[in-house]
């Protein structure tokens, strides 16, 4: 189980670091993509500045930090994935044709596959939480 948790941590952490770094390359375009979701568009510039740093920090923490700090990073990743899943689902439900913005300007439009990917990543983060909790010797 230790190796499964490590693999999930490295994949999730690497994905979050990559996504954050790519978004830093063009924050203006990312702000436009965030605003296109039509969920508090006035916050889009702030999200475009803050989210990449949060993603990079959480991704690095998931891979590099000691167990207790990794758990906090994993919670942050799970929370972000929950927010992303809800945002994409709401946009799809409202019929908004929007580019994902997940990996910068070349992410392509959202769809059912985007929701499925987000749910899979959320599930992976929750699996890491469970595996790490068992490793820490605590119970829920």
Residues above pLDDT 70, as percent of the chain: 95
User: Could you report the per-residue pLDDT of 26-37, keeping only the tens digit for each?
Assistant: 899 999 999 999
Read out DSSP for the chain?
A: -HHHHHHHHHHHHHHHHHHHHHHHT-HHHHHHHHHHT-SSGGGHHHHHHHHHHHHHHHHHHHHHS-HHHHHHHHHHHHHHHHHHHHHHHHHHHTT---B--EEEET--B--HHHHHHHHHHHHHHHHHHHHHHHHHT---
User: Could you report the per-residue pLDDT of 88-139, keeping only the tens digit for each?
Assistant: 999 999 999 899 888 876 778 999 999 999 999 999 999 999 998 877 665 4
User: Could you report the per-residue pLDDT of 37-80, keeping only the tens digit for each?
Assistant: 999 889 999 999 999 999 999 999 999 999 889 999 999 999 99
Domain parsing of the chain, residue ranges? 2-136
- pLDDT recorded at residue 105: 66
């Amino acid at each position: 189980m230790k190796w499964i948790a490590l693999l999930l941590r490295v994949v999730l952490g690497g994905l979050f670091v990559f996504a954050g770094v790519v978004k830093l390359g063009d924050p203006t375009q990312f702000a436009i993509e965030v605003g296109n979701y039509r969920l508090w568009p006035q916050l889009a510039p702030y999200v475009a500045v803050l989210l990449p740093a949060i993603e990079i920090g959480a991704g690095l923490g998931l891979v590099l930090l000691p167990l207790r700090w990794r758990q906090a990073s994993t919670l942050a990743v799970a929370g972000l994935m929950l927010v992303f899943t809800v945002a994409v689902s709401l946009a799809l439900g409202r019929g908004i044709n929007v580019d994902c913005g997940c990996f910068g300007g070349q992410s392509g439009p959202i769809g059912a596959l985007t929701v499925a990917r987000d749910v899979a990543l959320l599930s992976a983060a929750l699996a890491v939480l469970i595996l790490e909790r068992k490793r820490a010797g605590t119970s829920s």
